[in-house]
Amino acid sequence: MNGIKKIQYDCKQATYLIEKKQIVRLTFYEKIRLWIHLAGCSVCRIFQRQSILITRMAKEFFQNPPSPRPGLDDTFKKELQDRIEERLKKD
């Protein structure tokens, strides 16, 4: 297989670069490689779109987490504050 054909077939490499691109800048060579691949591979274009979506969803989930249910109960909170007060008295 010649060079271009190899790049066009190698979805493993392309998806690796799609992940890398979301974290660091790709080298010039890597950019060209990914561009050539995505131009001809609709499946990896789907992958790219969904990969970015997953990253966004995960981020969103961490930045605006729903309040946990059940949350902390009052007994736990009271005991914890009591322990803090105890330590403060010792000092």
Partner 1 sequence: MRRDKTPEAALTVVQPVNPHKWVETYADYLYTYALVRINDEELAKDLVQETFLGALQRVDKFEGKSTERTWLTAILKNKIIDVYRKRSSGLANLPDEQNGLKEQHDFFNPADGHWTEAYEPQYFGIEDRDPVLNKELNGILKKCMQRLPALWLAVFTMKHMEDHSTDIICSELKVTPSNFWVIIHRAKVNLRECLQRNWL
Please give the residue ranges that form the binding site for partner 1 (CB under 8 A). Answer: 1, 6, 9-13, 15-16, 19-20, 23-24, 43-44, 46-47, 49-51, 53-62, 65, 67-68, 71-72, 76-77, 80-81, 83-85, 87-88
Please tell me the number of Cα atoms within 13 Å of 4 on its side-chain side. Answer: 3
Q: Closest CB to partner 1 among 24 and 39? A: 24
Q: Closest CB to partner 1 among 31 and 83? A: 83
Residue type, 38: L
66: left (phi over 0), alpha (psi -120 to 50) or beta: beta
Q: How far is the CB of 28 from partner 1 (least distance, A)?
A: 18
How many CB atoms sit inside 10 A of residue 60's CB?
A: 10
∠ CA 4-12-57, nearest 5°, is 125
Q: How far is the CB of 81 from partner 1 (least distance, A)?
A: 4
Q: How far is the CB of 21 from partner 1 (least distance, A)?
A: 11
